[in-house]
Structure 1
Amino acid sequence: MCITAHWIDSDWNMRQKILNFCPIISHKGEDMANGISRCLREWGINKIFTITVDNASSNAVTVKELSKQLTKMGTNLMNGNHLHVRCMAHIMNLVVQDGLKECSLSIERVRHAVRYVRQSPARLKRFQESCDDEQINCKKSLCLDVPTRWNSTYLMLSRAVEFENAFSNYASREIGLRHYLENSYVEVGITAGELLSSDWVHVKRITRFLEIFYLLTLKISGSRYVTSNIHFLEICAVAVYLNKLMASEDTGLSDMAKKMKEKFNKYWGDPTKMNKIIFISCILDPRYKLESVGYALVKMFGTQGPSIQAEIKKYMTSLFNEYVKSSSKGSVLDVSSPCSSMDTSTSGISGSEESTQSTGL
């Protein structure tokens, strides 16, 4: 189990440190929570703003148990309503994997062809000769994916497409490739043992399809810059993209998009189950503010958008008052007063001791 803390220091620099990296003997939520609690006690940390975890069911139990412990410490802001943040990159991995199941045959053929070429220096040398024959001057090399990581599948396919003609040339002179493919397909229950021209058509289409998700993953996975403020708008962009593809005349892409949308809706289809901090962090970005979030909500949820926006604004006001109360020792700002119309970013929330010392895991 790896625990990483993210926080803003007194000089307003974003910081992150690994607090613990240790083997665990139980994946039960209660045991995981106890392990995290011990780590926090050792570091003297008792103020936690959010906890970001992947989507294993045991992690939901873990966060609930940690929320109870923070309540006992008296540091569980708003009863931990905002505490549980689901890892966006992990959700995207699950969403795309569901879509790839619809076109696994072509991907399997390319994967086995790449594996065959990479298995020995002699094969790589003969493949390079095929590249020379086809006048392919690409200095990149073939890469093999990890099937459970779709982004590595994207990289494998996008690289293989550049060598399409070389593969055709290589297959015509290397009888062993066909035999290898035939044996491999028997193992995975596929009868056809040949890399067909139609496979390249499918792979090119899939690669273009996956590119938007790959670029999104790069954007939200940065560790040296803030990413939470862009999460919701990127989620909205994915929803719009999937809706567009579901209406496509290309049945292959449409089927992929439908599968992905089903998984997408499991996590982001119901706004009442989404952590409102995702919306609030976007609102606090002066480039977007409440208007942009409202527009995106309508794009995602249609006529429900305005009512969801009102709920988010109400929650944001409550969160603001909690910070004012903790920093002014019980004095709560009256949000109905004239000064409450000020931009909350100038009201000293982020400058309070509570803000600068709270930690995100």
Structure 2
Amino acid sequence: MVVTCHYVDSSWNLQKRNLNFCDVPPPHTGIVVCDVLNKCLVEWEIENKVRTITVDNATYNDVAIRMLKENLSYKNNLPLGGKLFHLQLSSKKLVMDCCTKWNATYCMLSTALEFKDVFPRYQQRDPTYNTLPSEEDWDKVRVVCSFLQEFNEVTHIISGSEYPTSNLFLPELYNIKRLLNNTSMGEGSFMKDIVNKMKTKFDKY
């Protein structure tokens, strides 16, 4: 695929340049064409200067142009699975869970929420990806993150090393107990199961 640029120079003369000769192996799907063209624009740092795009009448170009228009409305490049995604995110990588640390679960889920819009795009590019979270799943993630956020804050307060923490321990411990009690009496069966297990450990220790 040849990427050609037409532009008007400072003297108001129309210029034409071939920017790139791109190797595009089959299948020539709209997603593949979009990724190749988008990569070329980013490498030339002109993704924010594109005004019009002209393609031939191949049907896959309809998909390619639609996706490219979506991509060009964002500024940050996010690598994921070897593909380019364009989303404005504060984080640049996912966090893996550690089954023995609840705060790792909090970090993983809260970061996944930032990447929520990436997962459907990844599914479009990888037909083997069949674990796309549903809206109900994301709602549960938000609830769990809100719950674990207080634990995360308390942990940072109690585990501080540059100030005394003995005077802070009991009030923060009470806050945890209050959070467990309130959540266990609230609605949402999946949270009750989680909290009851946590209360058992809390009462034990």
TM-score normalised by length of structure 1? 0.33
Match of 2:158 among 191, 196, 220: 220
Aligned to 1:281: none
Render the CA deviation track for 1:306-341: whole Å, top value 9, x for unaligned: xxxxxxxxxxxxxxxxxxxxxxxxxxxxxxxxxxxx
C-alpha distance in 2, partners of 1:137/1:235? 34
Deviation at 1:242, TM superposition (A): 1.0
Deviations 1:16-54 (A, max 9, x none): xxxxxxxxxxxxxxxxxxxxxxxxxxxxxxxxxxxxxxx
Unaligned runs of 5+ in 2: 1-77
Structure 1: any 5+ residue segments left out of the alignment? 1-120, 179-192, 268-361
The CA deviation at 1:233 is: 1.2
User: What is residue 243 of structure 1 aligned with on the other side?
Assistant: 181
Q: How does 1:29-68 map to 2 (within 5 A)?
A: none
Distance 1:207 1:242 in 2: 14
> Partner of 1:237: helix, strand, or coil?
helix
Partner of 1:149: 101
Question: What's the counterpart of residue 252 of structure 1?
Answer: 190
Q: Kindly provide the CA deviation profile for residues 253-290 of structure 1, in whole angstroms up to 9, marking residues without a partner as x.
A: 222222211111112xxxxxxxxxxxxxxxxxxxxxxx
Distance 1:236 1:253, change over 3 A: same
The aligned amino acid for 1:208 is: S
Give the Cα separation in 1 of the matches to 2:188 and 2:79.
Answer: 41
Q: After TM superposition, what 4+ stretches of structure 1 lie above 6 angstroms from structure 2? A: none
The secondary structure found in structure 1 opposite 2:99 is coil
Contact persistence 1:136–1:163 (CA under 8 A): no
CA–CA separation in structure 1 for the residues paired with 2:140 and 2:184: 17
Q: Secondary structure at the match of 2:180?
A: helix
* 1:260-339 aligned within 5 A: 260-267=198-205
2:118 to 149, 166, 180: 166
Residue aligning to 1:210: 148
- Superimposed CA distance per residue, residues 139-170 of structure 1 (whole angstroms, 9 cap, x where no aligned partner): 43222122211111111110110110111111
Secondary structure of 2:160's counterpart equals: coil
Answer yes or no: is the 8 Å Cα contact 1:143–1:159 preserved in 2: yes
Distance in 2 (CA, whole Å) between partners of 1:138 and 1:146 is: 22
TM-score normalised by the chain length of structure 2: 0.56
1:122, CA displacement in angstroms? 7.3
Partner residue, 1:176: 128
Cα pair distance change 1:122/1:155, threshold 3 Å: closer
Tell me, in whole angstroms, the C-alpha distance in 2 between the residues paired with 1:125 and 1:136: 18
- Shift in CA distance, 233/138, structure 1 to aligned 2, threshold 3 Å: closer
Q: Which has the higher contact order (CA 8 A, sep 6+)?
A: 1
SS in 1 for 2:90: coil
Mapped partners of 1:249, 1:147: distance in 2 = 26
**CA drift at 1:125:** 4.0
Pick aligned residue for 1:230 from 168, 176, 185: 168
- The alignment partner of 1:175 has SS state of coil
Percent identity at matched positions?
34
State the one-letter code of the partner of 1:207. Answer: C
1:197 aligns with 2:135: yes
The CA distance in 2 between the partners of 1:246 and 1:221, in whole Å, is 26
